[in-house]
Structure 1
């Protein structure tokens, strides 16, 4: 019998208040997504929502807690309201931890939005504000040949909530996709890492909560808000992307 796949969710922040309460933080939210992705794999003898997964959560922002590498098979870095290019002590600690994971060959890395950017920073490439501004709500991601192979689609739609980007691909990393506002939308290195700039874990409900709060705070003007709200119920490929993450983790 195959041992459980041990995934440590590194919580780099918490979701909006209502979503945080409903889902139990990013750890709970990603637990739901990963289990749905396991069922979508269609390999119940290998992995399912009730079999073969051990998901733990680690608050790396407030508690600065990290798992020992011997106790896990993969880390998943979540999104965050923080900036991945900032120099706060907890961010330096997170970058150093990711570099430690990159320096070995067994534990694999999944990066989501801020987590995608932290992986880029840990690998020495520029992470900063985009000159193209915000990318929000459900948006299309055009896929590279490798992206089409991994995600098993010609293109995908994902929720977006970012104005920071990874500016270039680190050496040895393959591109997965791009959009008009973001040239580095996903990174892949076999047996090592897979990342996306989007949010496969988000739902329309979560996105609405974020848009309403940021519009009220003046982050998004009326035009941006209305445009994003018009796309919030569009179909998205979050569960399919989660299944692709699991295929990556199961690769020899």
Structure 2
């Protein structure tokens, strides 16, 4: 099972973790994540960029979860449970054009400082391909493991 953003939070809650509003406020725009523990299916850099749009975050992982990613804005930016669960707090599916439009959609709804930071973050691009390969490798590994049993 893979979950992104709300999916990451829903999986954490469903399996006994905790989700709360982030006291740091919104994570919006391009967000730098650091690898805490490298999953076998992730072959990317120690730091990667993903688009984010969230104000809640996982504050306690489910039992048996391993924290894979962290960011200055979100301590648990991704986790895994064995080879069956993989998550990210951010949005690997979003494109630069979509995020730019989303920022403009929220421009009059959020603090101007959040919007200014989000707009400025779009000077770089997300590591979309790297993360997409990790998702594919995760499902391939799970399929191979299931076939072997």
TM-score, scaled relative to structure 1: 0.53
C-alpha change, 1:148 and 1:226, in structure 2 (3 Å) is farther
Contact 2:32 2:47 in 1 (8 A): yes
Contact 2:33 2:47 in 1 (8 A): yes
- Paired residues, what number? 142
* Alignment-derived partner of residue 225 in structure 1: 115
Structure with larger RCO (C-alpha < 8 A, sep 6+): 2
| RMSD between aligned residues | 1.6
| CA distance in 1: counterparts of 2:134 and 2:64, whole angstroms | 20
Higher Cα radius of gyration: 1
* Alignment-derived partner of residue 243 in structure 1: 133
Deviation string 1:28-84 (CA, Å, 9 cap, x unpaired) is xxxxxxxxxxxxxxxxxxxxxxxxxxxxxxxxxxxxxxxxxxxxxxxxxxxxxxxxx
Q: Where has structure 1 moved over 4 Å in runs of 4 or more?
A: none
| CA distance in 2: counterparts of 1:236 and 1:135, whole angstroms | 14
Please list, as runs of the form range in 1=range in 2, the aligned pairs for 1:1-252 lying within 5 A after superposition.
109-147=1-39, 150-216=42-108, 218=109, 220-251=110-141, 252=145
Structure 2 gap ranges (5+): none
Structure 1 gap ranges (5+): 1-108
| CA distance in 1: counterparts of 2:36 and 2:61, whole angstroms | 13
Deviation at 1:152, TM superposition (A): 2.4
TM-score, scaled relative to structure 2: 0.88
